[in-house]
Structure formats: C-alpha cells, structure tokens
Structure 1
Amino acid sequence: MDGAFLTGQMLIAMPTIGDPRFERALILLCAHDETHAMGVAVNRPVEGLSVPDLLRRLDISAGAGVTETPVLMGGPVEMERGFVVHTDDYGAEHTIPVPGGYALTATREVLAAMAAPGAGPRRAILALGYAGWSAGQLEGELRHNVWLTCEADEALVFDDDHATKWTRALAKLGVDPQFLTAEAGRA
C-alpha cells in the first residue's frame, strides 16, 4: 500500500470473503496505521435490540428525542463493549477524531449525551464490538481482494436503510455486485 492509510474510508466486503461475520459488511475504518487497523461495521443491526433498549439496560434515562434505531454489530472483537460513531460536532475526553467529519467515542458519557435532547452529536450510531487487524493484516487482505474501499458519506454511515448500504457503497464505485470476483488480474 506504499504507506497509504485508510482511516476514514469504508471497507466493502467482497462476496467471496469466506467469513460469515463479515458477509456483506460495510465498515468505517476509524484507525489505520503501520501497527493496526480498527473499524466499526455500520450495516449489521442486532435483531431485537434498539438504542433506547440498551440505554434502559444501562440505567440511562432517554429523552423524548431518542429514536428506536437499532444497535449495530460493530464487529467480532469486544462484542460486550459499546462504540459510538458520530459526527465530529461532539467530543469528549476520549473521543477519537476520524477524517471526513466523524468521530469515535466508547464511553458512558457519550451515551448519556445521546439520551439528553440537544446534548449529543448531530448524528450517531451505537455498535457492539469492532473489527480489528494487526500490523499488515488489513493490507494483506486488500492485496488478496477481500475488501474494496470507498469514500465514507453520512448516508452510508448513519442512515437506517441497513439492507442497502453494501450495495450503495459498491454503486459509489460503479460496481454491480453480480460482477464481483475474488480473482485479481495482472497486466
């Protein structure tokens, strides 16, 4: 990858990924450098669990503005831990900025802010777990055509049409999923 890092980009799982945990996954890369990569899947709702449900379980009183958006499965690592991807108009002590106008916060403070009208970020998703890669692992997967990448946008990250996010990300690249293959060519 010649030193190019993909923080703030979207990873689009290829149909031949071979790992059901990432089938049709769309992941916002929140960190990527020479030592690791970390991202949160933005299109995998947890069946039967909404943000208000989770706030109640954590004894956080939700204001009237908290909508019934689903909690997402962010990835297979630390699935018992919550991660909030949000617009960068909100920040706390442990907020990690993500290029493109995004941020990542994994504290109870951001959940309380989301529950209070007007206190939290303009847009946010709550995910359980994350996807992580060790040094060079993601680069190897990219070389082996496991992932495609595209620019992130607010609709792909935050809207509730989770069923179409993967296809819409591919469409940003001009790719029709029926023509995808894991084979690479050489000129």
Structure 2
Amino acid sequence: MSTHRAPIIDTLTGSFLVSTPRMPDPRFEEQVILVCAHNNEGAMGVAVNKPNPAFSLSEILNGAHLPIPEKKLPPVYVGGPVELESAFILYQSDYQTDYRLEISPTISLSRESRVLEDIAQGRGPEKFLFLLGYTGWGPGQLEQELVSDGWLTVPASDHIIFDTPDEFKWKAAAMQFGIDISTFGDYIGYA
C-alpha cells in the first residue's frame, strides 16, 4: 500500500523575483520582489525597488506622533498591490524584535509597531525599507508564472536591497549573474 503525498516544492524564500520584459502584468514592470515566504500554500513577497513619492517616512512618523530622527530616512516603498494600507519593515537582522519573519539569516520582515518606534528613537535597524502593501500568490500560482517567463529567479542580495539606488536594482539583481535583464528572452526559442 503506497501513501500519496503532496509534492514538495523547493522554497523560493529569500530569493529575488526579477520581472522580465515578457511580464504580462504592467504593475510588475521592472520589479524586484524579495520572496518573504513560499510554501505549498502560496507565496508572499515585497517589491524592494519602487518608492512611492506620495508618502514620506517623516510624514508617517509625524502621523504616528513619533519623533523624526536626524539621519536621512529612506523613501516609503510600494511593497505590492495587496493591502496597500498595511505597513511592513524589511531590515537587516542585526536588529532583533520578538515578532518577525526571518527571510534569511541576515534579513527579517516585521509589522510590529515597536520597530517603527525604535527607528524614530534612533535605536532601530541600521538598514531598513518601510513598505506599504505586499505581493501574494495562491497555491501553485507563482510556479505557473515562473513557467511563463514572467519572472527570473535569482538569489537575493542584501547589498542590492539596502545599498543600491532604486533605479539600478532591477538590472543589478540580474546582472550579478551575468544576465542583461533588458534583453532577457529576446533569443529564447531561436536556437
């Protein structure tokens, strides 16, 4: 008697999804998504290269009645089209908090308000992104999108997330593996 098990998928947690020029959804054009969770129930990630000029972190801190630190603050990012009113903080894990999702040994994600309070007080993570919204996929949905050439999957890089200017992240994420993403797919099928 054999037992049937659901297929185990390799997790993409901690990887970048880099949209290719073949991406059919214009909302994800030139996006770099950090996959924060991926399992048989679906996937969740945040875009790390799309700042939203309509918001500033200073305004958000002010609205929460928190002090504004002296140091330059990063922009507010659009993490994705789902729950745009939900705030997330993606940060290097040298800072610790109780409620976090460990994405890799060096990167965590949290929705805990204490992280924002610590940032305002100057004792939060040194490197972080403040994001509104996220990107989500149902069971099997991301895997189907990967088959259609909409995404290139590469290992994530802390340097690209936190130290590379936003306008260069899309090309830099692919170029770290020698791939010119702007021409990716131009020659597929013409062997």
TM-score by shorter chain over 0.5: yes
Unpaired runs of 5+ residues, structure 2, are 1-6
Whether the aligned pair in 2 keeps the contact of 1:69 and 1:160 (CA below 8 Å) is no
CA RMSD of aligned residues (A): 2.1
Find 1:33's aligned residue among 39, 44, 58: 39
CA distance in 2, matches of 1:85, 1:144: 29
Larger Rg: 2
Find 1:170's aligned residue among 151, 170, 174: 174
Find 1:58's aligned residue among 64, 85, 108: 64
Is 1:82 matched up with 2:87?
yes
CA distance in 1, matches of 2:19, 2:96: 30
My pick for the range that moved more, 69-78 or 156-165, is: 156-165
Find 2:30's aligned residue among 24, 36, 45: 24
Identity of aligned residues (%): 36
Is 1:109 matched up with 2:111?
no
CA distance in 1, matches of 2:40, 2:190: 26
Which one-letter code corresponds to 1:19 in the other structure?
Answer: D
My pick for the range that moved more, 173-182 or 23-32, is: 173-182
Pairing of 1:87-166 with structure 2 (within 5 A): 87-117=92-122, 119-159=123-163, 161-166=165-170
Is 1:10 matched up with 2:12?
no
Q: Do the aligned partners of residues 51 and 11 (structure 1) sit closer, same or farther apart at CA in structure 2, a change above 3 Å counting?
A: same
Whether the aligned pair in 1 keeps the contact of 2:88 and 2:133 (CA below 8 Å) is yes
Whether the aligned pair in 1 keeps the contact of 2:21 and 2:182 (CA below 8 Å) is no
Which one-letter code corresponds to 1:105 in the other structure?
Answer: S
Whether the aligned pair in 2 keeps the contact of 1:145 and 1:182 (CA below 8 Å) is no
TM-score (norm. length: structure 1):
0.91
Report the alpha carbon displacement of residue 165 of structure 1 after superposing the two structures with TM.
0.4
Which one-letter code corresponds to 1:58 in the other structure?
Answer: A
Give SS of 1:45's match.
coil
- 1:71-121 residue CA offsets vs partner (Å, 9 max, x unmatched): 00000001011111001122322211111410000121111111112x211
Unpaired runs of 5+ residues, structure 1, are none
- 1:44-75 residue CA offsets vs partner (Å, 9 max, x unmatched): 0101422222211222212223x232100000
Q: Number of residue pairs matched?
A: 185
CA distance in 1, matches of 2:142, 2:84: 20
Q: Do the aligned partners of residues 186 and 16 (structure 1) sit closer, same or farther apart at CA in structure 2, a change above 3 Å counting?
A: closer
Report the alpha carbon displacement of residue 129 of structure 1 after superposing the two structures with TM.
0.2
